[in-house]
Chain A
C-alpha cells in the first residue's frame, strides 16, 4: 500500500513538533526517518499510526483519506521503542491478540501464530512470558505481533535502540529480510545514521520538525542538499565558498552565488592534480591512524583579505606512511566532488 502525507503540522503548547511535513511512500518501500533527538520523528510516526492527531494536513492510504479513521481501524502494525509486549500474556498470546480482536477463527489463529513465531525464529519460545525473554527476543515477538494481522503498513519506532550492538545488527538484517519477504510498506524511525543508510530504500532526514532532505541512502550521502544533512550524515568538510576551490555549478538559483560548500574527506587527495586549478598547499595539523584508514587534518592558509585559514579533513586508505605534523603537502580536490550546500 502506498502512503501519501501532505503538509502535516503539529504543535505541543508553543512547541512546533512538526511543520508542513510532506512525504509519499510507495508500495513495498522501506523508509527511515532520521534526525537528532526531539526533531519530531516519533510524533510523525504516531500521527501516521493514529495515536496522535495533527493540527493540519492530510494523509492518504492508497488514495483513501485516513484522517477520520481511529488507530484501531487503520490496521497498521506498530512496534515501539520500549518493549510494549503485554506482560501478562505469553509470546504466542501476544501474537494472537490482534487476530482475536479481528475475530479470526481459532484454528486459523493457531496456524498464523506458529507461522509468525517461526518467521522471527522464536518457534520454541511460544509459551514464555515476556520477562522470560531477552530484549532482542521481546522485540522479535513485538515484530511478529505487529505483522500477524497482515497490516497494510508497518511502523517501527526505534525498535532496536534498547539493544546492544551485536543483537542490534542481527535484528537489522532480520527486519529487512522479513520486510522484503512480505513486501510490506514500512516506516522506521531511528537516530542512528548507519542503521538508516544500511536498511532503508529511502531516508528522510529531519530537523526541528521540518524535512531537510528525502532520498535514497547513496543520494543523501553523495548529494546532501544543505549543511545540516552534510554534517549529519557521515563526515564532511563544510567550508565557506572561495574562489580557489573549483566546483561544478548545479541547481543554482538564478543569479545566486554559492556561500557554503561541502567536500567529503575521502575526496580530498594528498597529491598534485596535475594542473593548477584545484591544487592547494596545506600544512599537516594532525594525523590519526585507524589501521587501514588515516585521517589527516590540514591547515590551508588564507590568501589574504578577510578570509580565515581553513582546516580541511582528508581520509586516506592505508597507514599514511611518511605523514608528519608540520609537513607542507599538495592537496587536490576535483570540482565534481564539491557540493554547494548554501547559496547567497
Chain B
C-alpha cells in the first residue's frame, strides 16, 4: 500500500473546522477551569471551614473519577435529572456539554496548581503583611496572590496542553472536534491512516503554538 494524502487534502476544510471546534473546547474549558480552579484553590487554603471542605470535596471527586464518566454525566445524566425535577426535556448541545465537563474537570487540577502556588509563597510574607496592618484577605489579594500567580503560569500552561488533548474525548458525545472529524472521514473511506496522521499534525501544531505563547508570557513576567 502506498501512502496517499489526496483524500486528506480534499477534505482539509473539514479537518480545519474540527480543529476550530477543538480550540473552542479547549479555551472555553480553560477559562471555566481557571475561574473554578482559582476559587477552589483559594478555598483549599481558606480559614473558613465550609469553604475549605466544599473545595476539598470538589477537587477529590473530579480528580478521582474518569473524565469520560464526567462527560457522560453532563451530557446524559444532567438532562435526566432535569427531566425528573421539572418534567421538561432538555437536549444539550455537545459542544456546551463538552466545555462544561472539561472545564469542571480541569478546575480541579487548576485548584491544586493554585493551592501549591499560594503555599509556595513564603509564610513570612503573610506575617509581614499582617504586622504592617493588613487583614488576612487584603494580604492575600495584594501580596500573596500576585506572587502565587507567577508561580502558576508554567504548570497552568501544561494544563492547557493536557486539556487540548483531552478534548478529543468529547468526540464520544458527538461534538465535531478534530478527533471526531478524523474518525468520521476514516470510516467513510475506510482509510484511517491519512486522517489520523492529519489530525496528529494539527494537534502537534497547536501544542507547539501554545507552548511558544507560554514561553513568551513567562519571559515577560520575569522581566516585569
State the A residues within 8 Å of B (CB).
49-51, 70-78, 80, 82, 84-88, 97-98, 101-102, 145-146, 149
A84 CA to B135 CA, complexed, in Å: 17
**Sampled A-B contacts (5; CB under 8 Å):** A70-B130, A77-B131, A82-B124, A85-B128, A97-B132
Residue numbers in B under 8 Å from A145 (CB-CB) = 132
B125, A72: Cβ atoms closer than 8 Å: no
- Least CB distance, B69 to chain A, in whole angstroms: 41
Chain B 126-141, CB-CB to A under 8 Å as 1, else 0, gives: 0111111111001000
Do A101 and B134 contact each other (CB < 8 Å), given the known contacts A82-B122, A86-B143? yes
Contact A84 B132 (CB under 8 A): no
The CA-CA distance from A102 to B127 in the complex, in Å, is 17
| B131: A residues at CB distance < 8 A | 49-51, 71-72, 74, 76-78, 146
Given A49-B127, A82-B124, A86-B143, 19 more A-B residue pairs with CB atoms under 8 Å apart are A51-B127, A51-B130, A70-B130, A71-B127, A71-B130, A72-B131, A73-B133, A78-B127, A78-B128, A80-B127, A82-B122, A84-B122, A84-B127, A85-B128, A86-B147, A88-B146, A88-B147, A146-B131, A149-B132
A49 to B131, CA, bound (A): 7
Q: How far is the CA of A234 from the CA of B124 in the complex (A)?
A: 33
Collect the chain B residues with CB atoms within 8 Å of residue A85's CB. Answer: 128
> How many cross-chain pairs have Cβ atoms below 8 Å apart between A and B?
57
Report yes or no: B134 in contact with A72, Cβ–Cβ below 8 A: yes
125-175 of chain B: CB within 8 A of chain A:
125, 127-135, 138, 143, 146-147
Chain A residues within an 8 Å CB radius of B130? 51, 70-72
| B interface residues (Cβ-Cβ under 8 A, vs A) | 122, 124-125, 127-135, 138, 143, 146-147
Which residues of the other chain, B, contact A98 by a CB distance below 8 angstroms? 132-133
B133 adjacent to A86 (CB under 8 Å) = no
Query: Smallest Cβ distance from A225 to chain B, in angstroms?
Result: 34
Per the bound structure, the CA–CA distance linking A49 and B135 in Å amounts to 15
Question: What chain A residues lie within 8 Å of B146 (beta carbons)?
Answer: 88
Known: A78-B128, A82-B124. A101 touches B133 (CB 8 A): yes
Instruction: Tell me how far the C-beta of A79 lies from the nearest C-beta in chain B, rounded to whole angstroms.
Output: 9
Contact flag A86-B122 (CB < 8 Å), given A72-B134, A101-B134: no
Contact of A80 (CB < 8 Å), options: B124, B134, B135, B138: B124
Q: Which residues of A contact B143 (CB under 8 A)?
A: 86, 88
Nearest chain-B residue to A103 (Cβ)?
B133
Chain A residues with Cβ under 8 A from B132's Cβ? 72, 97-98, 101, 145, 149
Set of chain A residues within 8 Å of B129, measured between Cβ atoms: 86, 97
- With beta carbons under 8 angstroms apart, the residue of A72, A84, A101 that contacts B124 is A84
Measured CA separation A149–B124 after assembly (Å): 19
- Shortest beta-carbon distance, B154 to chain A, in Å? 17
A75 touching B133 in the complex, CB below 8 Å, given contacts A86-B143, A88-B147:
yes
- Taken together as a complex, chains A and B put the C-alpha atoms of A51 and B134 apart, in Å, by 13
- CB-contact partner of A84 in B125, B138, B147, under 8 A: B125
